[in-house]
């Protein structure tokens, strides 16, 4: 890796500690924050040496930076979210952009099912009930069965299919919505999100964040899911109109929600914190040792392929 050791890489924002160590062992690393939108580096000589950028999905890369790094060969992102990456500008410049799909599918799907079961059977609420000593005063309220229910999946990509496969093990009826029917699956395609919500007992969101999916799940969809329905979000907070979600949960128009993502992370609205029919997780769907290491490995593989002028193992643009 002698050539790599002489390469100058720009790290944008914090990364997984083991990935930061690997970068520093193999490259000369400069750092920047994506909030400094005017320029990545104050020193033009440093900017001229940068041949790669490594970032993460929550941080991304300001599009204007691409033109300010004349030697740039590749952008490698830790994560699957693409909404903060300048894909159009990178394509126009012929610049490869790598990301880390597939390696996190199982862990995200596992957490989606965990949130679904918790939201339906109220496991976290029952834990609080026991810890408060409320069991001494009476029995915990009845909850909702999971097996045999109707599952609607919004966005049947890799993660959505992994969720559906797990739900099949619970003997659920499964339907999904996306722009066009997915190839090679037997589950029912429902073109209308509203119709899917009206049909489903549980609605799981795995769709990518984009301008087209901003507030895709609005008050009308939540009311269609109904007072016995459960919303599970392991996608992005922007996919749900959070104000409408809170209003529907407070009014009883929606039965419950199980959320791993929020519109303004890590700031979770106090109204959600106050609701007992909501399960809250800190954007942890891919947060296992196994998956994060696999993501770090793929981030490095994309980086090194780009520096060598080879095809990226996982290319977003």
CATH code of residue 129:
3.40.50.720
Whole-number pLDDT of residue 178? 95
Question: Same domain, yes or no, for 52 and 143?
Answer: no
Give the torsion sign (CA, 117, 118, 123, 129).
negative
Whole-number pLDDT of residue 26? 94
Question: Same domain, yes or no, for 148 and 161?
Answer: yes
Q: How confident is the model at residue 1 (pLDDT cuts 50, 70, 90)?
A: very low
Q: Is 128 a catalytic residue?
A: no
- What is the C-alpha to C-alpha distance for residues 292 and 287, in angstroms, rounded to an integer? 6
| Residue 83 domain-assigned (yes or no) | yes
Q: For the sheet containing 50-56, what is the strand order?
A: 28-32, 8-12, 50-56, 74-78, 97-98
Whole-number pLDDT of residue 5? 54
Question: Same domain, yes or no, for 126 and 46?
Answer: no
Q: Is 120 helix (H, G, I), strand (E, B) or coil?
A: helix
What global pTM score does this model have? 0.92
| Residue 145 domain-assigned (yes or no) | yes
| Residue 312 domain-assigned (yes or no) | no
Q: Is 283 a catalytic residue?
A: yes
- The catalytically annotated residue of 84, 158, 189, 283 is 283
Question: Same domain, yes or no, for 187 and 275?
Answer: yes
Question: Same domain, yes or no, for 215 and 93?
Answer: no
- What is the C-alpha to C-alpha distance for residues 110 and 196, in angstroms, rounded to an integer? 22
Q: Tokens at residue 187, please?
A: 């589950």
Number of domains in the chain: 2
- The catalytically annotated residue of 122, 236, 292, 304 is 236
Lookup result for tokens 């609205």: 269
Question: Same domain, yes or no, for 178 and 302?
Answer: no
Q: How confident is the model at residue 35 (pLDDT cuts 50, 70, 90)?
A: confident
- The catalytically annotated residue of 25, 220, 265, 310 is 265
Q: Is 265 a catalytic residue?
A: yes
User: pLDDT by residue (tens digit) across 235-274?
Assistant: 999 999 999 999 999 999 999 999 999 999 999 999 999 9
Question: Same domain, yes or no, for 116 and 56?
Answer: no
Question: Same domain, yes or no, for 122 and 66?
Answer: no
112 near 163, Cβ under 8 Å? yes
Q: For the residues 278-298, what does the mean pLDDT come to?
A: 97
Q: For the residues 5-11, what does the mean pLDDT come to?
A: 87
Question: Same domain, yes or no, for 252 and 177?
Answer: yes
Whole-number pLDDT of residue 34? 81
Average pLDDT, the chain: 95
| Residue 313 domain-assigned (yes or no) | no
Q: Which residues span the domain enclosing 73?
A: 2-103+290-307
């Amino acid at each position: 890796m002698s050539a790599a050791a002489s390469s100058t890489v720009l790290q944008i924002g914090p990364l997984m500690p083991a990935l930061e160590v690997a970068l520093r062992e193999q490259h000369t690393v400069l750092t920047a924050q994506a909030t400094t939108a005017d320029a990545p580096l104050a020193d033009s000589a440093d900017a001229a040496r940068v041949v790669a950028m490594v970032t993460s999905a929550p941080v991304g890369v300001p599009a204007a930076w691409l033109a300010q790094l004349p030697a740039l060969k590749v952008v490698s992102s830790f994560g699957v979210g693409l909404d903060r990456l300048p894909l159009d500008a990178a394509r126009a410049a012929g610049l490869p952009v790598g990301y880390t799909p597939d390696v996190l599918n199982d862990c995200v799907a596992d957490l989606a099912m965990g949130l679904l079961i918790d939201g339906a059977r109220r496991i976290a609420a029952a834990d609080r009930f026991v810890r408060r000593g409320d069991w001494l005063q009476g029995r915990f309220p009845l909850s909702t069965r999971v097996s045999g229910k109707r599952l609607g999946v919004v966005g049947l990509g890799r993660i959505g299919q992994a969720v559906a496969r797990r739900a099949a093990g619970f003997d659920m009826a499964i339907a999904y919505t996306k722009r066009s029917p997915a190839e090679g699956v037997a589950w029912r395609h429902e073109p209308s999100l509203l119709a899917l919500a009206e049909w489903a007992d549980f609605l799981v969101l795995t769709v990518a964040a984009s301008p087209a999916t901003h507030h895709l799940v609005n008050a009308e969809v939540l009311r269609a899911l109904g007072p016995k329905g459960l919303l599970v979000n392991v996608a992005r907070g922007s996919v749900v109109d959070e104000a409408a979600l809170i209003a529907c949960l407070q009014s009883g128009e929606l039965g419950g929600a199980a959320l791993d993502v929020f519109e303004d992370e890590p700031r979770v609205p106090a109204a959600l914190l106050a609701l007992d029919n909501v399960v809250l997780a800190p954007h942890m769907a891919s947060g296992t040792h196994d998956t994060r290491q696999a993501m770090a490995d793929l981030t490095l593989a994309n980086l090194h392929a780009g520096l060598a002028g080879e095809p990226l193992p996982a290319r977003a643009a």
